[in-house]
């Protein structure tokens, strides 16, 4: 096994077509003597014989038709070194028809360079490429203002172009690490300071490059180690992969997802000999102290902050094809080393990268950037892109064609990983002499869980309160569990994050179960926005559980706004508010739908009252 370190920084160069990416790289490589003078003379003679002016871009043109078309078609990788360290350039194409290759190059980049023709200024493709870098989790760029010779090194024009680009970058939360005015043709400020721009007091490109710190994630206390393969060598079972965050050493505690099993590292394996420690970017093999089941695509992590396990999440994607998005179609999602069948369940927004406005149309076209909700039949180990960029990037395939690339936004949906911290040791359930059947016979009805779900303001509590009163008068053993009342006591330590909402639902469902064992019909009024968590609540007592959808649109609930919560949410005073800043998933097959947008309270109450009597009375 030959596991090599991946410490060499990868640099992606992006920008509008003809703004001089290839010329810039060619000139840079020539200036640092990575390309011989003989090679340049050879190309100059060839250009002269063809009747064209020599350009440094010719050094990178691997294909004849590229030179004829005047655009770079493929993504080219060029290895080079400065006096400080080694690098690899990823020369990404600028023409909009070749954006797929640009994404392929940028997805693995450590350093991003955005190049602009200072004479032409900031173009639509410049903005789109900057937004794509943001989409791929790159939030700091080096900006190069090329062709300064064409504007006679004019400082004012440079500053106007820089301000325009900096404003756009600021709007999308991308920071410019350095802004460098250069001439690729003449070599100004690339490897040596320009005497023609004495007003520029910043560093040359090579100085900026060597000062760029890419090690900020290598010292992370957290770990991400996607499993690439498992090798069987004699009596060893070696798990191999590349470290995407943190460090690995002998004896380290790991948790593997999706199995959620914990184990320690027994040995580190590499050829010809292993080091004591490996860090982000290193490829290495490990053996474990226990023989647990591990498969390609699994994720090993630290035990303190492992990835979420999710089957529903939001994502920003770049749609690469002319094909339409189909909601009932299975796409193949490749993330880290795993592959999963997913469906796109909702298109939330389509972003216009020119002005950052949302498009009115919901029809996604080629090269559109959009926010979507994705559903998987399997639980996927996921990191939010704000936590770790490299493990939050993915691509979608349709019939082996890449149709989209994107990043994970896991904030609005809950972690479904079962926590192992609660060990059920020395716990023995007690069987009581009065059982559920005895209670049902006495009260003349079966127990049940009537789970009312819907937006805040849809009418859940009002309906439950009235139904409870009516059925109690008819001698039903009935009790109401209301979400707000529970948060005053039992659930007062829970906030409104996806994980806290999940725990709120779990606790409430367990309390409802206890009430059914006491012979009660329990009315649960809870927003409970996630289908997955309502299913978990149902699974506690599926034979007694009835899901009731109290239906009302956000617009209707906004008009009602009895508690004033929507007004606060719209002002930003309440975060993670369902229907405004947090999602609500409508039930797919509820036992009953009560549409309070169209019904009076009395009609809604009568519907639920009749439903309960029919379902649970003897």
Q: 10-211: what CATH class?
A: alpha beta
What pairing do the DSSP bridges indicate for beta strands 592-595 and 86-91?
Answer: unpaired
Q: What is the model's pLDDT at position 496?
A: 87
pLDDT of residue 529 exceeding 50: yes
Q: Which of 70, 125, 68, 78 is nearest to 102 (CA)?
A: 125
Range with lowest mean pLDDT among 128-142, 196-210, 502-516: 128-142
Q: Where are the beta strands (DSSP E) in 419-570?
A: 448-453, 478-482, 521-525, 545-551
Number of neighbouring beta carbons within 10 Å of residue 251: 9
Q: What is the model's pLDDT at position 222?
A: 94
Q: Does domain 436-616 have CATH number 3.40.50.300?
A: yes
Higher-pLDDT residue of 115, 351: 115
Number of neighbouring beta carbons within 10 Å of residue 590: 17
Q: What is the model's pLDDT at position 199?
A: 95
Task: Write down how long the chain is.
Answer: 618
According to DSSP, residue 74 is labeled: S
Higher-pLDDT residue of 393, 218: 393
Q: Is the peptide bond before 272 cis (omega within 30 degrees of 0)?
A: yes
SS (H, E, C) 604-618: HHHHHHHHHHHHHEC
Q: What 3-state DSSP class applies to 81? A: strand
The model's confidence at residue 139, banded by pLDDT at 50, 70 and 90, is confident
Q: Is the peptide bond before 339 cis (omega within 30 degrees of 0)?
A: no
What is the overall mean pLDDT for the chain?
Answer: 86
Q: What is the model's pLDDT at position 63?
A: 34
Q: Give the C-alpha separation, 7 to 511, whole Å.
A: 53
The model's confidence at residue 104, banded by pLDDT at 50, 70 and 90, is low
Burial zone of 304 (CB within 10 Å; 0-12 exposed, 13-18 middle, 19+ buried): exposed
Report the topology of domain 224-301.
Answer: Elongation Factor Tu (Ef-tu); domain 3 (2.40.30)
pLDDT of residue 365 exceeding 90: no
According to DSSP, residue 470 is labeled: H
SS (H, E, C) 569-586: HHCCCCCCCECCCECCCC
Q: What is the model's pLDDT at position 85?
A: 86
Q: Give the C-alpha separation, 366 to 523, whole Å.
A: 48
440-466 average pLDDT score = 95
Give the domain ranges of the chain: 10-211, 224-301, 310-419, 436-616
Tokens (6 digits) for 351: 């972003």
Q: What is the model's pLDDT at position 376?
A: 92
The backbone torsions φ and ψ at residue 365, rounded to the nearest 5 degrees and listed phi first, read: -110, 170
Question: Angle formed by the axes of helices 124-135 and 155-171, to 10°?
Answer: 40
222-247 average pLDDT score = 93
197-221 average pLDDT score = 84
Homologous superfamily in CATH for domain 310-419:
Translation factors (2.40.30.10)
Burial zone of 383 (CB within 10 Å; 0-12 exposed, 13-18 middle, 19+ buried): buried
Catalytic-role residue among 92, 315, 528, 604: 528
Q: Where are the beta strands (DSSP E) in 30-98?
A: 76-81, 86-91
pLDDT digits (tens, 9 = 90+) for 115-132: 999 999 998 888 888 887
pLDDT digits (tens, 9 = 90+) for 153-192: 999 999 999 999 999 999 988 999 999 999 988 989 999 9
Cα–Cα distances in Å, from 294 out to 250, 311, 404? 18, 20, 29
Number of neighbouring beta carbons within 10 Å of residue 292: 12
pLDDT of residue 98 exceeding 90: no
Cβ neighbours of residue 342 closer than 8 Å, sequence gap 6 or more: 330, 331, 332, 333, 374, 375, 376, 396
The DSSP string of 263-329 is EEEEEEE-SS---SEEETTBEEEEEESS-----TT-EEE-SSSPPEEEEEEEEEEEE-SSSPP-TT-
> Please, are residues 136 and 103 in contact by the beta-carbon 8 Å criterion?
yes
Supply the Cα-derived Rg of the chain in whole angstroms: 30
Q: Give the C-alpha separation, 341 to 110, whole Å.
A: 29
Q: What is the model's pLDDT at position 70?
A: 44
224-301 and 310-419, same CATH topology: yes
Tokens (6 digits) for 342: 């997913």
Range with lowest mean pLDDT among 5-9, 98-102, 229-233, 327-331: 98-102
Q: What 3-state DSSP class applies to 57? A: helix
pLDDT of residue 570 exceeding 60: yes
Tokens 């006491």 belong to residue? 518
Q: Give the C-alpha separation, 362 to 517, whole Å.
A: 48
Cβ neighbours of residue 354 closer than 8 Å, sequence gap 6 or more: 124, 127, 128
56-78 average pLDDT score = 49
pLDDT digits (tens, 9 = 90+) for 581-609: 889 999 999 999 999 999 999 999 999 99
Cβ neighbours of residue 215 closer than 8 Å, sequence gap 6 or more: none
The model's confidence at residue 77, banded by pLDDT at 50, 70 and 90, is low
Q: What is the model's pLDDT at position 599?
A: 94
Q: Is 108 a catalytic residue?
A: no
Q: What 3-state DSSP class applies to 165? A: helix
202-224 average pLDDT score = 83
Percentage above 70 pLDDT, the chain: 89
Q: What is the model's pLDDT at position 105?
A: 52
pTM of the model: 0.72
Q: What is the model's pLDDT at position 188?
A: 93
């Amino acid at each position: 096994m030959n596991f090599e370190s991946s410490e060499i920084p990868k640099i992606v160069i992006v920008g509008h077509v003809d703004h001089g990416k290839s010329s810039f790289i060619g000139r840079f490589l020539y200036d640092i003597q990575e390309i011989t003078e003989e090679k340049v003379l050879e190309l100059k003679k060839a250009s002269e014989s063809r009747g064209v002016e020599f350009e440094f871009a010719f050094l990178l043109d691997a294909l004849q038709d590229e030179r004829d078309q005047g655009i770079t078609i493929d993504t080219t990788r060029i290895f080079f070194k400065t006096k400080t360290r080694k690098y690899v350039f990823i020369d990404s194409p600028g023409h909009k028809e070749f954006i797929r290759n640009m994404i392929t190059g940028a997805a693995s980049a450590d350093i991003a360079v955005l190049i602009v023709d200072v004479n032409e200024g900031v173009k639509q493709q410049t903005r789109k490429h900057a937004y794509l870098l943001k989409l791929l989790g790159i939030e700091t760029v080096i900006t190069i203002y090329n062709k300064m010779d064409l504007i006679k090194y004019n400082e004012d024009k440079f500053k106007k172009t820089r301000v325009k680009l900096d404003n756009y970058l600021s709007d999308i939360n991308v920071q410019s690490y350095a802004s460098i005015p250069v001439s690729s043709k003449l070599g100004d400020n690339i490897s040596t300071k320009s005497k023609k721009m004495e007003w520029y007091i910043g560093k040359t490109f090579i100085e900026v490059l060597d000062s760029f710190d890419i090690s900020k994630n290598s010292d992370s206390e957290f770990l991400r180690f996607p499993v690439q393969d498992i090798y069987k060598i004699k009596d060893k079972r070696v798990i191999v992969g590349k470290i995407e965050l943190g460090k690995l050493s002998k004896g380290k505690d790991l948790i593997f997802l999706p199995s959620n099993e914990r184990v320690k590292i027994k040995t580190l394996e590499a050829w010809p000999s292993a080091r004591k420690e490996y860090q982000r970017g290193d490829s290495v093999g490990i053996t474990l102290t226990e023989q647990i089941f591990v498969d390609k695509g699994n994720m090993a992590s630290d035990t303190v902050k492992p990835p979420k396990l999710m089957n529903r999440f939001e994502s920003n994607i770049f749609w690469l094809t002319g094909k339409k998005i189909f909601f009932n179609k299975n796409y193949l999602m490749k993330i880290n080393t795993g592959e999963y069948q997913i469906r796109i369940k909702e298109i939330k927004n389509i972003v216009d990268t020119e002005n950052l406005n949302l498009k009115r149309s919901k029809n996604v076209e080629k090269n559109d950037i959009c926010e979507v909700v994705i559903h998987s039949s399997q639980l996927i180990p996921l990191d939010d892109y704000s936590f770790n960029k490299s493990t939050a990037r993915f691509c979608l395939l349709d019939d082996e064609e890449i149709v989209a690339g994107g990043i994970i936004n896991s904030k609005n949906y809950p972690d479904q990983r079962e926590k192992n911290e609660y060990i059920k040791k020395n716990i023995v359930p007690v069987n009581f002499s009065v059982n559920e059947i005895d209670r049902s016979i006495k009260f003349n009805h079966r127990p049940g869980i009537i789970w009312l779900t819907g937006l805040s303001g849809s009418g859940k509590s009002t309906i439950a309160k009235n139904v409870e009163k009516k059925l109690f008068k008819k001698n039903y053993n009935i009790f109401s569990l209301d979400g707000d009342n529970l948060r005053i006591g039992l659930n007062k330590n829970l906030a409104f994050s996806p994980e806290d909402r999940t725990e709120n639902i779990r606790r409430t469902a367990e309390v409802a179960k206890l009430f059914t064992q006491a012979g009660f019909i329990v009315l649960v009024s809870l927003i409970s926005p996630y289908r997955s968590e309502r299913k978990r609540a149902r699974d506690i007592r599926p034979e007694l559980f009835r899901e009731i959808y109290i239906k009302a649109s956000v617009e209707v609930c906004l008009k009602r706004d009895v508690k004033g919560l929507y007004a606060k949410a719209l002002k930003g005073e309440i975060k993670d508010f369902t229907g405004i800043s947090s999602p609500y998933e409508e039930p797919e097959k509820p036992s009953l739908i009560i549409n309070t947008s169209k019904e009076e309270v009395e009609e809604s109450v009568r519907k639920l009252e009749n439903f309960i009597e029919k379902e649970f009375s003897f």
